[in-house]
Amino acid sequence: MEEQKINFKSLKASCKDCSLVELCLPRGLNHKDLHSLDDVIKQRRLLQKNERIFNQGEKSGCIYAVRSGSVKTFTTAKNGEEQVLGFHLPGEILGLDGLDNHIHSCSGVALDTATICELPIDELNVLCVKIPGLQQQLLSLISDEITKDHTMLLLLARRNAEQKIATFLINLSGRFKARGYSAEEFDLTMSRYDIGNYLGLADETVSRLISKFKENKLIDANRKKIAILDHEKLCGIAEGDYDLN
Amino acid sequence: MEEQKINFKSLKASCKDCSLVELCLPRGLNHKDLHSLDDVIKQRRLLQKNERIFNQGEKSGCIYAVRSGSVKTFTTAKNGEEQVLGFHLPGEILGLDGLDNHIHSCSGVALDTATICELPIDELNVLCVKIPGLQQQLLSLISDEITKDHTMLLLLARRNAEQKIATFLINLSGRFKARGYSAEEFDLTMSRYDIGNYLGLADETVSRLISKFKENKLIDANRKKIAILDHEKLCGIAEGDYDLN
DNA sequence: CGGCTGCTTGAAATGAGTCAACATAGGTGG
DNA sequence: CCACCTATGTTGACTCATTTCAAGCAGCCG
């Protein structure tokens, strides 16, 4: 069993779906294993804007990889109000909640036209026994998820509106870059309302601060279109080393 | 391989450590398996107040079960400020972050004199192959962790101070009850500052609202001692169905 | 072209934070 | 064993960041 490491680039070329890239990224798997993994991908789904991927409380038994477009996840509280939990770009995974009982504790919905791949958990678990590294890869993904949530708790609890928006933009920029898109210019697929909800702010506050960043030449913004003009200063604001007053 | 289910009570009696109860609680494992699990518990550690269990960024390779006393976990941001991530009571698990690379993304510290059990992840992983149900149990714990974090995101982003404190007290009460302690009277082992930090509030706000709840006869409180007097109304406040104005 | 939805901006209201003084409990040392 | 000291918690007065309410604007789809 030759555990030949293969890098991100060759993986991307050799495999039919980018979701695998994500699963395999942290530590390499060999080609044979990758192809058994390929077989696990049940289907690729094309989604229209606002179409649900999975619903809170529903049995599903899959995790999902975004192939194109973008997706948000959110929980619905007893009183019906929503809390956006995250936005997911191409190459990112969602649905790691409800990994045990196969019941999702949040919902996923397409923010624009999107394609996603479904990975049935049970088959993945079976494969985990066969492929030594895979179990670890899955744990790695989950671990990341927990760490991301913790970062988010810090952001929500301790940062002011300016820092929240700056952090959000820097974070998106970095994720676009990691996926091969421009880090300086991108489109927000989510509404101001969604951003506000995600960051614990009123949507008016989001609007106001985007305008303020624009006035200060940190970014250029026109509705959904965003351009990062001064990455460094924006980081400064995010980190709290610097503010606009 | 008789997969005889055993319940919480018998488990508690038959096993030397309550950490196992937690690991086995959702779905039963048979006795033989439980005892192999027992062997995995490396050691029981006695901790003094403020003693660290593990540190952010350190390699550790263990998850931890609280046996007695209580514990808080927190992340430290670049600028040195802390964010409390959670409080852990006897029978609860911590350290599920850094499950993959064995590096913790947060720190754990004893809030009072406490005993904890260490469960080495690698040995646990080995055991997972041998014991069919165990893998699932672990996933279940992790899944819970993610769901808990999501609930916390909602609390931080969408609730006012009154709702946050009420939710916090109700949640603690329920956890004490689940562990066999009184749901109506308990001690807070954490400081007002810690509670505030956890909930994204100033410690003065925590103090003020505890006093307000006291004035309104929802609770009785004297420093660390808390008594829940009107559970229903407190829930009402937590849910936002009701407020004190 | 009109209406709808999402975005922007302003003005006023307010919840929570900050600063500061004081109270109390628990621990320490004389 | 008492007196003091320090930690932690409480309370008040004031400030201010963010929300709320409200009106107007712009892009987009039928």
The pLDDT assigned to A158 comes to 97
The residues of chain B scoring below 50 in pLDDT are 1-15, 18
Which residues 201 to 230 of A reach strand D, CB within 7 A? 201-202, 204-205, 208, 222-223
- Is the Cβ pair A239, B78 closer than 8 Å? yes
Chain B nearest C-alpha distance from A66 (Å): 20
Pick B154's closest partner by Cβ from A26, A83, A142: A83
Instruction: Determine if strand D comes within 7 Å of the CB of B219.
Output: no
The pLDDT assigned to B2 comes to 38
End-to-end CA distance of chain B: 61
The pLDDT assigned to B13 comes to 39
How big is the A-B interface in CB pairs under 8 Å? Answer: 117
The pLDDT assigned to A68 comes to 92
Tell me the whole-structure pTM to 2 decimals.
Answer: 0.90
Amino acid (one-letter) located at A88: H
Give the residue ranges of DSSP H helices in A72-131: 121-130
Q: Does A158 touch chain B (CB under 8 A)?
A: yes
Q: Does A96 touch chain B (CB under 8 A)?
A: yes
Q: What chain A residue is nearest to B82 in terms of C-alpha separation?
A: A154
- Is the Cβ pair B152, A153 closer than 8 Å? yes
The pLDDT assigned to A137 comes to 83
Contact B168, B228 (CB under 8 A): no
All structural domains of chain B? 8-133 (2.60.120.10), 156-238 (1.10.10.10)
Contact B73, B104 (CB under 8 A): no
The pLDDT assigned to B128 comes to 80
In angstroms, the CA A146 to CA A168 distance is 18
Q: What chain B residue is nearest to A100 in terms of C-alpha separation?
A: B140
End-to-end CA distance of chain A: 61
Digits of tens for pLDDT over chain A (245 positions)? 333 333 333 344 344 554 555 555 555 566 676 666 666 676 789 999 999 999 999 998 899 999 999 999 999 999 889 999 999 999 999 999 878 778 999 999 999 999 999 988 888 888 887 887 788 888 888 888 999 999 999 999 999 999 999 999 999 999 999 999 999 999 999 999 999 999 999 999 999 999 999 999 999 999 899 999 999 999 999 999 988 87
Instruction: Determine if strand D comes within 7 Å of the CB of B36.
Output: no
3-state secondary structure A136-190: HHHHHHHHHHHHHHHHHHHHHHHCCHHHHHHHHHHHHHHHHHHCCCCCCEEECCC
Please, which positions of strand D sit below 7 A from a protein CB? 8-13, 17-22, 27
